Amino acid sequence: MASTAARPSVVPEKDLESFQAHLSKSTRIIALLGAGVSASSGLPTFRGAGGLWRTHAAQQLATPEAFARDPGLVWQFYNYRRHMALNVKPNPAHYALAELARKKEGFITLSQNVDGLSPRAGHPASSLKLLHGSLFDVKCSDFFCKYTEVDNYTDPIVPALAIPTTSDGDEIDPTTNSARQARDLDISDENVDLPELDLAHLPHCPTCKTGLLRPGVVWFGEALPVNVMDDIEEWIEKSKTIDLIMVIGTSARVYPAAAYVDQAREKGARVAVINMDKNDIPASGVYKRDWFFEGDAAKIVPELFKSVIGDITEIPDAADRG
């Protein structure tokens, strides 16, 4: 385990001091996370994020109707995303947020990310609310079956979904350098052939035996998880005051993210925005008493929290544990 090395400040000293002074006395804190938190982990996105994956509109693959129509294609899309996420590591922002959750009892993290990096960084599950689910949760698609499994890091989730490599189809001695240097093919590229799938070889429910398992993410047209939304509402409602809301790696302009910023403000919270783009601010804007920290969350967040958590120390990645 190695702590982060000393480095020059990436935050203006005056802003750092005022933020840390407020953080130290804050007892009710919200962190709202978006994809920008994971950017420093090098997490690749499917080709044409917000556009196409191969020749398919990515949004059109993320629906119950798409899964019913072609579960094999949808699973290839999501298994690819699982595989890509498992090939990167949580970054210092994930570890710093996890440590702050251990130091501050009244801290809750609301994440819009499905990449599994916050859980893998050891963020306490009790204070981490995944608004859109996780790539690494699976559940039965049969309406009458309630089977769910969390933190399934098996890659591939079934052998038939293995990402093809440059050595596939070649007669290569597995002990040779050429075999060891085999590389995954980018199946997000429409010019790369997808493996042929037999429906019987897709992941099936171990409970009902008939339903297919599906990714535990919130698809378009589906409601956000009721238990998660209830937990967040209860946390906010029981707080007479909220001291601080941190908006990290997200513009927080759409529901429910925008609503959480407004609700926190109504209870007295100051807002701290950490984002690479200075134009990405909450719908309600940035007030005079708020902070905007422009730059890489992986560098800024550990520095902001240092007065409370000290130097962060990486813990074993949950995906690497047996």
In which residue are the tokens 């079956």 written? 145
**By the 8 A CB rule, do 10 and 303 touch?**
yes
140 labelled as ligand-binding?
Answer: yes
Helix (H, G, I), strand (E, B) or coil at 293: strand
**By the 8 A CB rule, do 94 and 117 touch?**
yes
CA–CA separation, 227 vs 215, rounded Å? 18
Lookup: tokens for 296 = 């890489």
- Comparing C-alpha atoms, which of 216, 196, 191 is closest to residue 82? 216
**By the 8 A CB rule, do 186 and 179 touch?**
no
Residue 90 burial class via C-beta count within 10 angstroms: exposed 0-12, middle 13-18, buried 19 and up: buried
CA–CA separation, 260 vs 292, rounded Å? 18
- In DSSP terms, 149 is beta-bridged to 138
Please list the active-site residues.
132
CA–CA separation, 113 vs 297, rounded Å? 15
- Comparing C-alpha atoms, which of 66, 55, 112, 58 is closest to residue 212? 66
145 labelled as ligand-binding?
Answer: yes
Residue-wise over 281-316: b if at least 16 C-beta within 10 A, else e? bbeeeeeeebbebeebbbbbbbbbbeeebeebebee
Beta strands in 1-142 (DSSP E): 29-33, 52-53, 56-57, 107-111, 128-130, 133-140
196 labelled as ligand-binding?
Answer: no
In the annotated binding site, the residues are: 140, 145, 205, 208
In the annotated binding site for Zn(2+), the residues are: 140, 145, 205, 208
